[in-house]
Structure 1
Amino acid sequence: MKFLVDFFPVLLFFVAYKLFDIYVATGAAIAATMAQIALTWWKTKTVTPMHLVTLGVIVLFGGLTLYLRDEQFIKWKPTVVNWLFGLAFLATHLFGGRTAIERMLGTTFTLPQALWRRLNLSWILFFLFLGAANFLVMTYCDSNTWVNFKLFGMLGLTLLFVVLQSLFLAKHLDETCKDR
């Protein structure tokens, strides 16, 4: 269920784009992101900073897209969001006592600090890569290709990365459990 809620704005953007145009899709994505935050707040009484950053960026870039009738702004949104997340994870990597990934998963897993740092570094690199990939596709491809990449390419890369992270964690959790 959480997966569907998290990807609802992207799915709605894709469907609205295919049925109408990028401007209707942008408005739908803004509304869907607001609904996503409201639903999350209603169910949990909390909203993650990641959701708030995403909301802020989509309202800003989506709003500029609609106001100026320039689709380039909405195309920048995935790059900006991913690079902001990468920078946030980097900041905790360099300056925080605990890395961002440890803060997110530390109540679920117990890992040595060196592994938390490796895991966090992989997320930093992934966010930077995903932002760069979006930038390349938005720069060198047409809007239809970019919309397809936004849904299928970015979602596919994210799922692949999460599976690889799960395999990495499973290997190290097995080692950690054997040490006990």
Structure 2
Amino acid sequence: MKQFIDFIPLLLFFIVFKLEPRELELLGLHWTLGGIFSATAVLIASSLLVYGALFVAQRRLEKSQWLTLAGCLVFGSLTLAFHSETFLKWKAPVVNWLFALAFLGSQFIGKQPLIQRMMGHALSLPEPVWRKLNMAWVLFFIVAGAANLFVAFTFHDIWVDFKVFGSLGMTVLFLIGQGFYIARHIQTPPETPSQGA
């Protein structure tokens, strides 16, 4: 459910981006709906609403949600202020690389790698497996950032499609691979002898 909630602003961004630009009048003001700049405004507004509602409901946001929100606000605001989509094209690579840096840093700082802190309550894995999984996430975020950057500045016509669906597809494939890897190494707690009759 959390992943779907995080996806709402991106989905709204995609829908508004794909609309043919048209002029609307609302409250005596003229607005353009459709295209990159109105989609960016919708991305910022919907991110504030979604993460604001989550913060009110949960009394907190996860660090990844704070980072995503900050990236959206900074790069989205720069896109609107300078009327240049270049800033927004840098959002996904920079956010992915910051996640990679956080996962990499956790290999050396703290008692557990970041992936173990996130999933350790649900899984029991040997310590070397946690470290390999964590490094796999580092590599995934580096590759995802590079792929987003390459597509954004090479294939101008499809970069938004890739940002929404290509990144999602890469993540799903990576999670499936991770699932197979975890299944080979998962440790089951030893059974306690049942009380005899």
Shift of 1:161: 0.8
Partner of 1:154: 167
Q: Say which of 103, 114, 118 aligns to 1:100.
A: 114
Taking a change above 3 Å as real, the CA distance of residues 112 and 104 of structure 1, as seen in their structure-2 partners, is: same
One-letter code of the match for 1:134? N
Once residues 2 and 53 of structure 1 are traced to their aligned partners in structure 2, the CA distance between those partners, rounded to angstroms, is 15
Partner of 1:82: 96
Shift of 1:48: 0.5
Once residues 189 and 53 of structure 2 are traced to their aligned partners in structure 1, the CA distance between those partners, rounded to angstroms, is 41
Shift of 1:139: 1.4
One-letter code of the match for 1:5? I
Q: Say which of 134, 138, 147 aligns to 1:133.
A: 147
Task: Give the gaps of 5 or more residues in structure 2.
Answer: 20-33, 192-197
The Cα offsets for residues 67-120 of structure 1, whole Å up to 9 and x where unpaired, read as 000000001000000000000100001233211101111111121110110000
Identity of aligned pairs, percent? 41
The Cα offsets for residues 143-173 of structure 1, whole Å up to 9 and x where unpaired, read as x300010111001001111111122112212
Give the structure with the larger strand fraction: 2
| Structure 1 stretches of 4+ moved >4 Å | none
Once residues 172 and 31 of structure 1 are traced to their aligned partners in structure 2, the CA distance between those partners, rounded to angstroms, is 43
TM-score when normalising by structure 1: 0.93
Structure 2 residue 156 is matched with structure 1 residue 170: no
Shift of 1:3: 2.5
Q: Say which of 119, 122, 128 aligns to 1:114.
A: 128
The Cα offsets for residues 106-146 of structure 1, whole Å up to 9 and x where unpaired, read as 1111211101100000000000000000110111111x300
The Cα offsets for residues 10-60 of structure 1, whole Å up to 9 and x where unpaired, read as 111100100110001111111121122122223322200111111111111
SS of 1:171 mapped into structure 2: helix
**1:21-36 equivalences in 2 (<5 Å):** 21-36=35-50
Once residues 125 and 160 of structure 1 are traced to their aligned partners in structure 2, the CA distance between those partners, rounded to angstroms, is 14
Q: Which deviates further from its counterpart, 51-60 or 120-129? A: 51-60
Partner of 1:40: 54
Once residues 61 and 10 of structure 2 are traced to their aligned partners in structure 1, the CA distance between those partners, rounded to angstroms, is 18
Task: Give the gaps of 5 or more residues in structure 1.
Answer: none
Aligned residues: 177
Instruction: Work out whether residues 124 and 188 of structure 2, in 8 Å CA contact, stay in contact via their aligned partners in 1.
Output: no
Once residues 138 and 166 of structure 1 are traced to their aligned partners in structure 2, the CA distance between those partners, rounded to angstroms, is 29
One-letter code of the match for 1:156? G
Give the structure with the larger helix fraction: 1
SS of 1:120 mapped into structure 2: helix
Once residues 135 and 84 of structure 1 are traced to their aligned partners in structure 2, the CA distance between those partners, rounded to angstroms, is 14
TM-score when normalising by structure 2: 0.86
Once residues 31 and 170 of structure 1 are traced to their aligned partners in structure 2, the CA distance between those partners, rounded to angstroms, is 40
